[in-house]
Amino acid sequence: MARSFTRVELALRRAVVEIAGEKPITEVTVAEVCRRADATRDSFYRFAASPADLLAMYLYDDHDVTTVTPSRLPEGGINRELAPATRILIEHVQRNVQIYRNALAPRLPLELREALLRRLETVLNAHAREFPETLPNIQGKRPDAMAINVLVQHASNGVVGALEGLVAADGLHDTEHAMAMLHAATAPCWLAFDRQEP
């Protein structure tokens, strides 16, 4: 269930989103956000350590994939489909493309990358837990926890890098094409769509 926000926190979040749509988040100051939100510095620091931190919280909340993580269906079928999560990701970046475009220098700041990575890791870890049989053997053995973490980190960081490339190239106008490019660059073990258990 989504948490509720106080009036001041909502005002601060709106302010940082507006300003980050106008200029790079690395150039945004706490004083500027507080002026736009009509809030005090003390209020700001109750919610975030920096403007980038506050913006990352908004971006994380705007990119909620928890309802589409891969799962086994009650009637015994399987939803291995990662395409819904990819679509949510692309649509999130499209909604916030000016923020992301302004933030590229040439990579996203750590706080913004982390907001994306946390959501991607959630989906991929859920996939690995539910469908370990789709993951590749490593030197003839099933992947252990460390190997799964490496696979998840490789995939999630690769997707964020691809998104940076799409934002920089203004390549997000066509959702289906953007999804196809991400899927083309994704390892097959994450793309076991619509297969049934033996």
Residue span of the structural domain in which 129 resides: 63-190
R_g over Cα of the chain? 19
Average pLDDT over residues 58-84: 77
pTM of the model: 0.89
**Residue-level pLDDT at 82:** 82
Please check whether residues 87 and 36 belong to one and the same domain: no
The string of pLDDT tens digits covering residues 141-196 is: 999 999 999 999 999 999 999 999 999 999 999 999 999 999 888 888 887 644 43
Q: What is the DSSP string of 102-133?
A: HH-SSS--HHHHHHHHHHHHHHHHHHHHH-GG
Please, which residues have CB within 8 angstroms of residue 180's CB and are 6 or more apart in sequence?
none
Average pLDDT over residues 73-95: 80
Please check whether residues 28 and 121 belong to one and the same domain: no
Please check whether residues 41 and 121 belong to one and the same domain: no
Examine residue 124 and state whether it is found in any structural domain, yes or no: yes
Number of other CB atoms surrounding residue 131 within 10 Å: 20
Examine residue 132 and state whether it is found in any structural domain, yes or no: yes
Please, which residues have CB within 8 angstroms of residue 3's CB and are 6 or more apart in sequence?
none
Examine residue 58 and state whether it is found in any structural domain, yes or no: no
Please check whether residues 108 and 186 belong to one and the same domain: yes
Number of structural domains in the chain: 2
The string of pLDDT tens digits covering residues 12-28 is: 999 999 999 999 999 99
Please check whether residues 83 and 14 belong to one and the same domain: no
pLDDT confidence band for 84 (50 / 70 / 90): confident
Q: How many residues does the chain have?
A: 198
Please check whether residues 155 and 71 belong to one and the same domain: yes
Examine residue 198 and state whether it is found in any structural domain, yes or no: no
Examine residue 177 and state whether it is found in any structural domain, yes or no: yes
